[in-house]
Structure formats: structure tokens, C-alpha cells
Amino acid sequence: MQVRPIRSPTLGPLLLTAALALAACARPGPEQRLRESLQALQAAVEERDADALEGALAEDFIGPGGLDRAGARRLAQASFLRYRHVGVSLGPADVRLRGDRAEVSFTAALTGGSGRLPDAARLYAVRTGWREVEGEWRLVSAEWTPRS
């Protein structure tokens, strides 16, 4: 029995479309990767992991009052020393992509305490700037304002 190739004028484009669809599914798009980076940053804070937090920041990170990358790490470490349990709850993120840069705004509720119940809680309006470098999103700027 001899197997003959299937010849169809529509099969080629169909296979090409299927291959492209599979390739697109293989790697999340820029917005999805950015949201994953934001979730990883949230997890780093909740896990009290200053190394992971610093790793999410760009070398040229800038925050309020000229806070740089090293200063952000020290600020996080001070909070981790003060509170044994740290919680972060993020509101819906408004993502605006602009090529390899993005702006993400959201509200964040931060809690800290020595036991299961928080000793302190605060709500912030947060605006962040991100840059994609070699497929990885890095936080380049952050501003936060306490909300009533």
C-alpha cells in the first residue's frame, strides 16, 4: 500500500494558520507578561523577599523623593523587620502599553503585623512605569499616594 501526499489548495494556508496560532500560544503577550511581573512583585513583598523585590527593579529605578533601587530595597527590609507578616492586595490594574514601555495604575492595600491580624493597614493610589528588556518587564518608576 502506497501513501500519497494530500494535495489541497486550502490545506497549506490552514496548516500555516494553525502553526502561527500555536506559536502565539507558546509565549504570553506583552501585557500578560507585564501582569505576571506585577504579580511576582506582589509575591516578593508578601514573602518578605528583598532580593526578589530588588530583582524586579530596573537599575535606573526612581521612586518618590529620589528613592533609588538600593533605597527601595532598604525601605522594604525595614518594613520586613518591623512586620513579621506583610500583606498586599491590589485593585484592578489599568495597563497602558507603549511599545517596550508601559504605565500601570492601581490601588494597593498594604497591611503589616506581628501576628495573624494586621497591626497597621493603609490604602494607596499607585502609578508605575515599566520597561521591557529582553522579554522581561522591569519597574523603572513608582509613585504612591495615601488614600483616605
Give pLDDT tens digits along the chain (148 positions). 555 544 545 444 444 444 444 455 567 899 999 999 999 999 999 999 999 999 999 999 999 999 999 999 999 999 999 999 999 999 999 999 999 999 999 999 999 998 777 789 999 999 999 999 998 999 999 999 999 7
Do 60 and 140 touch, CB atoms closer than 8 A? yes
Asked: is 29-146 a CATH 3.65.10.10 domain? The reply is: no
pTM above 0.85, yes or no: no
What residues does 132 pair with on adjacent strands?
137
56: its cell numbers: 524586579
- At residue 78, what is the residue type? A
Domain boundaries, the chain: 29-146
Contacts of 108 (CB under 8 A, 6+ apart): 88, 89, 90, 91, 123, 124, 126, 144
